[in-house]
Structure 1
Amino acid sequence: MTQRKNERRGLGRGLSALMADIGVDAGVNDPVSEAPQQRAGLQNLPIEAIRANPDQPRRAFDERALEELSQSIREKGIVQPLVVRPVATEPGKFEIVAGERRWRAAQLARLGEVPVLIRAFSDQEVLEVAIIENIQREGLNAIEEAAGYRQLIDRFGHTQEKVAEALGKSRSHIANLLRLLTLPQDVQNMVVAGTISAGHARALVTAPDPVSLALKVAGEGLSVRETEDLARRIGHPASQKRGNSRQKDADTRVLEEDLSANLGMSVVIDHRAGGEGQVTIRYQTLDQLDQLCQLLSSVR
């Protein structure tokens, strides 16, 4: 019980403290960064004693970029050290907290050892550092970034507001990315591959058949605005035929996005001028329906 409470106490020691501890503001292999031998607590470890972090949010590494980094490492060495932590179950082994790209590139450069800083980070702090390093330095794609935020929220019980505040993002940015994870995997894969943008994908979240629409968007090269119009026409055909489709105000759209992200389901708000209206929640599986029923039952 005590451990669970500690996991949910907030964002660890604070992300600013974590970043200061690992020097994450410095460049990945920037020659003007502080030289490794000047860093307190620095030591060299055999490259085979280090392993990747299984919870690393980045899953895809660009091979050409890795080769370019390895060439830089061959010429200048690793300027910015890796940050690692001991593996409790394997004495003499260490897990990467920050710097997996440098570790991979060092292997390509056939280095025998690499400079590291050893830190006793908790699981929560490791995940936070991995997410922040990737976002700040290498730019996760939208799906990977969203998955990282989802881990922080689900695994450690943080709210969207808490994550947004700690990471220097707006709450709407967090909410909009989380909405992408409600899309079918085929559509998410298209975002990862760059076939459609995150903006295109967001427009398809409430569409009845997002996979077919995503293929149409990619095939015809539609803009984000055209995709939004297409999704609106298909999602509300009756109102389009009557010619009385109402343009929603910005506050209503943001509220729809926040509710969709929080529930993990498509939410549509139909607010009328008189103050009345209706909220439609679309679930895709019986598990989602069961989850919704539990949420509603818990409301006091």
Structure 2
Amino acid sequence: MTTPKTSGAAPARQQRLGRGIGALLMPDDDRPLDQTRPSDVYFGRANEPADDLQAAPGLRLVALAPGDISPNPQQPRREFDEEAMAELVVSVQENGVLQPIVVRPLAETQGKYELVMGERRLRAAKEAGLRTIPAVIKQAGDDQMLQEALLENLHRVQLTPLEEASAYQQLIEDFGVTHEELGMRIGRNRTTITNTIRLLRLPEHIQRKVASGVITPGHARAVLSVVDPELMDRLVEKIVTEDLNVRQSEAAAIRLAGPTKPKKATGRRHEGLDHIADKLGSRFDTRVRVDLNAKSGRIVIDFGSVADLNRILEEIGEEKWEEGEARERMLAQRTAALRRK
């Protein structure tokens, strides 16, 4: 029989990437310093919070037993990708829970809590057999209070690019805001937020090079333009050994990707089309091509998976692409509509 891990059992994890949402909350003044942060909310530098962080009244950061937390009955998400959940469970078993969940006390039962945010993390912690999970206890009933505290503090604490990316992604997932809404709230350009979040797509060993300053975020974005993991490693090695700047790294990425097939002439290249493609690509966080000739034009949006497609559809306000019977129904309806035309 194996002993279940606790989320703070492995001191060797101190060099994990990112501090996450835990870095954005001020602890209660009346609690001892060593109790203000769970050991699995990792801090890359100082143990003290930034002096100008704004405390959020009624919020506490503690470690709770997963069994003391009830699911949120109003959780809008009913289905969870099994493969993604399995990967998260493995990550939790190896590294603990890196981002605190958010709970509120149950008035009728002392010592019991109801989940506010973090359904996947709670499920993974239970399945992994963790004895404790880091949690933010929200005393007040106003969900806006927590959102305001996190968003206000985001630009006050000194985060590395990867820590920033992790915090952005968690806020977007937990609060359901878009990149643009998050950017407006914290006074940052949406493109900056999108490009920062893209850093999380890097393989972990390359993320560590970004975190340690071996390569810059600009170099990392050049690396992301290379799809093949082996080519990514070759490009990183070239950047480091030859001390390439970002522009040189981008050129090296193009050369590594190999020659591309020459495109058929589609007429005169209109000014501004590349700019439009870049703007759309930033919005959808993927590659977009805009072509125009004398008679017609087209916009091509690349996506890497069904989940990626559904993310883009959601961004433009369209229904998600369903699999199985729902998909067949949808295709039949669209085919019938086309025939009527």
Q: TM-score w.r.t. structure 2 length? A: 0.48
- 1:160 to 1:219, Cα distance in 2 relative to 1, 3 A: same
1:160 maps onto 2:179 in alignment: yes
Q: Which residue of 2 aligns with 1:291?
A: 307
Alpha-carbon distance in 1 for matches of 2:52, 2:185: 28
Q: Once the 2 structures are TM-superposed, how far is the Cα of residue 80 of structure 1 from its aligned partner?
A: 8.7
**Secondary structure, in 3 states, of the residue corresponding to 1:199?**
helix
AA aligned to 1:135 is H
Which residue does the alignment assign to 1:52?
37
3-state secondary structure, aligned to 1:180: helix
TM-score (norm 1): 0.54
Asked whether the 8 Å contact 2:151–2:185 carries over to 1, the reply is: no
SS state of the match for residue 45, structure 1? coil
Q: How does 1:27-66 map to 2 (within 5 A)?
A: 45-47=30-32, 50-52=35-37, 59-62=42-45
Distance change in 2, residues 1:163/1:55 (3 Å):
farther
Matched, 1:150 2:175: no
Q: Tell me, yes or no, if structure 1 residue 186 matches structure 2 residue 205.
A: yes
- Measured on the aligned residues, the alpha-carbon RMSD in Å equals 4.3
AA in 2 matched with 1:85: L
The code of the aligned residue for 2:59 comes to R
Structure 2 counterpart SS, 1:144: helix
What 5-or-longer segments of structure 1 have no aligned partner?
A: 1-23, 29-42, 71-77, 92-117, 261-266, 284-288
Q: Distance in 2 between matches of 1:192 and 1:123?
A: 32
Which runs of structure 2 are paired with 1:92-103 in the superposition (5 Å)?
none
1:227 maps onto 2:249 in alignment: yes
Aligned equivalents of 2:203, 2:257: Cα separation in 1: 17
Aligned residues of 1:149 and 1:174 also touching (Cα < 8 A): yes
The equivalent of 1:133 in structure 2 is 153
Aligned amino acid, residue 250 of structure 2: E
Q: How much identity, in percent, do the aligned residues show? A: 26
Amino acid at match of 2:297: E
Q: 2:282 aligns with which of 257, 260, 270?
A: 257
Query: Per the alignment, in what secondary structure is the counterpart of residue 156 of structure 2?
Result: helix
Instruction: Name the counterpart of 1:276.
Output: 297
Structure richer in helix, relative to its length: 1
Change over 3 Å in CA distance of 1:82–1:53 after alignment to 2: farther
Equivalent residue pairs, number: 206
Determine which of 178, 199, 204 is the counterpart of 2:218. 199
Q: Deviations over 1:134-168 (max 9, x none)?
A: 5324x211111111111111112111121111111
* Long gaps (5+) in structure 2: 1-23, 63-104, 112-136, 314-318, 322-329, 331-341
CA contact (8 A) 1:270 1:279 kept: yes
Per-residue CA deviation, residues 15-67 of structure 1 (Å, 9 max, x unaligned), is xxxxxxxxx9xxx9xxxxxxxxxxxxxx96251684216896xx3332xx56x
Contact 1:233 1:240 in 2 (8 A): no
